Structures are given as C-alpha cells and as structure tokens.
A = this chain, B = another copy of it.
C-alpha cells in the first residue's frame, strides 16, 4: 500500500506542534511528507522546508493548494498547523480542491469561521480530521468503550480538568505570544488552547453533549488579554452534571489533563500524564487498574496499541493514532468505500462544538456566570 502523500501548512523552524505532527505522521509509516508552506514568511517557509529536505516547497498555502491540486502525484492530504486564525482560510483552499485536511485544534479563532468551515467541509468530497489528539490514547478508547458498553451505568457526574503552569508569569516567547493574542488565538485563552481538549475528551468518552454551561473566567497575570484560568459548571443533555477546570497558571502542573466519570454503578479515571493506566471502580468491588494492552483491557484499546503492556506508549503515539485513523479513512476513500466502523477520528463538527464551547464560556463569564445554552 503506497504511503499517503502529505503536505503541511505552518510548522516552520521554531514551531512546536508542527514537529509533533511530522513525527506522528511517520510513526505508523502511512504518510510521506512531500510538500510544505511551513511559514507565512516566505523566506522562513523556504528555509524550513529545506531543513526538512521537502521535495516541494511553497511560499504560501494558496500557491501550494493550487499547484498541488494540479499535479498528478500532488498531495492527497494536508496538515494545517498554523496559529488558530489561519485554520479556516487555509483549510478552505484545500477542501475546495478535494485535498483532505488534517487540522490542529481549536477549529478556528471565531465562531463565524467555524460555521463557515463546517459548510466548506460538508461541500467538499475531502475528509476533515481534527487533531484532538488525546482521543488517540488507547486507554481513552478503552474508557469510551466501557461507557458505551454500560459498564459504569448511566453517567451522572463528569469531572474534567486541564491545568498547566507555563503562563504563571508574564511570558514573551513565541508559543506564549500568539496564544495570548485574541486576534490570532481567538477570544478564549486557556479555554481555547486546553479547555477545548478537556471539553472534547468528556464528550468523546461519555458520548454526551453539553446542554449549557456557567463559566467564571480570569486573567490572573496583569495585562493578559485572554483567560488564563477558567472554572466551568456543565449540564449535559440527559441530566448528567460536570465541572471543567482549565488553567495555565497552576504551578507544578505540566499537562495534567485528567478526567473522572461517575455512573450509577461505577467510575472511571484517566490522566494524560500517565496514559497507559485506566482506573475502573465498580461500585461495591475492589478498584481495578487496567493497563494498555494488559489483562482486562478490551479491543478498542488493543486496536490502537503498538507494543505490549508495561512498555509505555506516550503522547506521540496517541497523536500518531489520529494520523493512522486518518490514513484508514483516506485509504477507504481512495477505494470509494466507507472506512471500517472501528475507525474513529474527531471531525469538523467536533471542532464546531469546541468553538461553541469557547464562545459559551466567554459569554457566560461576561454575564456573571449565567447559564448559557450551547
């Protein structure tokens, strides 16, 4: 099976997430990176492309979309790893030319853009994959399967959080800079950058949608223009309740995404920093610790595991799973088929839900934490 020809928009020399996408695309050997417009600055785009030894280097993404679409062996898919505000304009160009899009999150920097992107994706024959990468962790898949199989009963309570500490002080380095600029990142700060991950993880595992939320957002660091800490109460369709906390000013927390779900007959607990474990606490029994690919873990986790239990898989492997799911879908698409029903990846609609979440948080907080319907 020939590897899928991949292009990349963004991800130049000093970016972080572009490098992650590139490793993720290589791990399972389903993609080959052959083209890129790696920066909005042509000179940097060219230097970055050369550093990677890319066969085809472009000054900007429009140029790349146009030319690649015309090539016989042009790219079949593009990874968009720019700051948030460029997701929509870039994705649009490729979608309308039938090139599959693998896009970083949040979907867009504004709700209006998100809606337009949904339409663009719906109109296109190409696939749209959003890298809510935490859904690629095997034990997240395991948790989702257990909820779906009614192992913990009807969900009552969801506690999800994503604290970090890297913005505890005023920061000026690149990663911090665009993420705290509303023009590029959107109206949400921590809510957009990491709150959307927490929100999506809750949705992914429980299968529940947030009906409304009440949020209290803060920018603790003086002069910061977007939230760096958010407290959110959640009401899900169907009656479950939840709390969501995200923060970038929590000293000692690195990427401490964690979710706990309590149903009528059991609980589940998973933490991103120790991702090969899943606690299952059936009511009235000893607590169970499941390990990735280990005894007691099921098919959904095993399907996306590469190595035996006790040999930890990490963030890059989880990210690679999103790429491999994309590959599964793209290969099926090549043949005009639907992918295997086990293939799961976040879609443009998941992206829309995320931007709606950010928007609702901001509006609720502006209205003194009034409940806002999503």
Contact = CB atoms under 8 A, between A and B. Distances in A.
Given A233-B214, A306-B23, A371-B369, A285 B274 contact: no
A254 B310 contact: yes
A23 B16 contact: no
Interface in A71-128: none
Interface in A245-267: 245, 247, 249-256, 260, 262-267
B283 A369 contact: no
A68 B185 CA distance: 52
A214 B371 CA distance: 11
B156 A229 contact: yes
A229 B158 CA distance: 11
A273 B277 CA distance: 10
A151 to B, nearest CB: 11
Interface stretch (A6-14, A36-44, A286-294, A341-349): A286-294
A313 interface: yes
A251 B313 contact: no
A307 B20 contact: yes
B307 A316 contact: yes
A308 B214 contact: no
Given A27-B316, A274-B274, A307-B315, A251 B241 contact: no
Contact of A286 (B161, B296, B315): B296
Given A247-B262, A283-B169, A313 B310 contact: no
A290 to B, nearest CB: 5
Among A243, A251, A262, the one with the most B-chain Cβ atoms within 10 Å of its Cβ is A251
Nearest to A24: B27
A53 interface: yes
A18 B285 CA distance: 28
Interface string A272-313: 111110011111111111110011110000000011111111
Contacts of A20: 307
Contacts of A275: 312
A155 to B, nearest CB: 11
B252 A269 contact: yes
Contacts of A168: 264-265, 283
Contact of A267 (B233, B253, B269): B253
Contacts of A19: 306
B256 A310 contact: yes
The 4 closest A-B pairs by CB, nearest first: A252-B281, A254-B310, A255-B310, A286-B296
Interface of A: 1-2, 16, 19-20, 22-23, 26-29, 53, 152, 156-157, 159, 161, 163-166, 168-169, 214, 216, 218, 220, 229, 231, 233, 235, 241-243, 245, 247, 249-256, 260, 262-267, 269, 272-276, 279-291, 294-297, 306-317, 368-369, 371
9 contacts: A1-B53, A156-B218, A168-B283, A216-B235, A216-B241, A229-B241, A243-B245, A251-B266, A312-B314
